[in-house]
Amino acid sequence: MKKPVFTTLPIVLVGLALTSCQGNKSHSEYDIMAKAEKYPQTQRVHNPDGTWRASKYGDYKLEKAEELLKTKYKRPWTVPKVISWYNAETDKKYRAALIRVLAASKDERVLSVIGPAIYDDDPDVRASATYSIVYYFTEELVGNGTE
């Protein structure tokens, strides 16, 4: 039986991250949320009254992740900090939110964390990882409200 393509996706992502990082040992650390605010996505939110509004950062899931995480984690949220928080976190809500923040960085270093999260035991973490890759690391969105 032939394996589905997605079973090798984390390996491909880790390879991409390692290849991208070679020769670039020093990264200028930045606040992920400040970068996300400077370069927003294009998502809008449908309000209960039927109106639409631009979501903060252009990503409603990132906006919600920030609301949850800001009570527990102090800014600036840099890639190394968020990776270490994710690795230490046991609460599934926080882990899913940290994945979204990592993806918003669009930094190749996060792929080694997000890729394996596709196979996490928790469905919320898996969904966050999957859609974060699609939303931040592919050229076109899936669309039609799949998230």
3-class secondary structure per residue, the chain? CCCCHHHHHHHHHHHHHHHHHCCCCCCCCCCHHHHHHHCCCCCEEECCCCCEEECHHHCHHHHHHHHHHCCCCCCCCCHHHHHHHHHHCCCHHHHHHHHHHHHHCCCHHHHHHHHHHCCCCCHHHHHHHHHHHHHHHCCCCCCCCCC
Q: How confident is the model at residue 3 (pLDDT cuts 50, 70, 90)?
A: very low
User: With 80 as the cut, is the pLDDT of residue 21 above it?
Assistant: no
Whole-number pLDDT of residue 1: 47
User: With 50 as the cut, is the pLDDT of residue 18 above it?
Assistant: no
Whole-number pLDDT of residue 130: 95
For residue range 41-80, list pLDDT tens digits in order: 777 777 788 888 877 888 889 999 999 999 999 999 999 9
* 12 or 65, which is more confident: 65
Whole-number pLDDT of residue 19: 41
pTM of the model: 0.75
* 123 or 45, which is more confident: 123
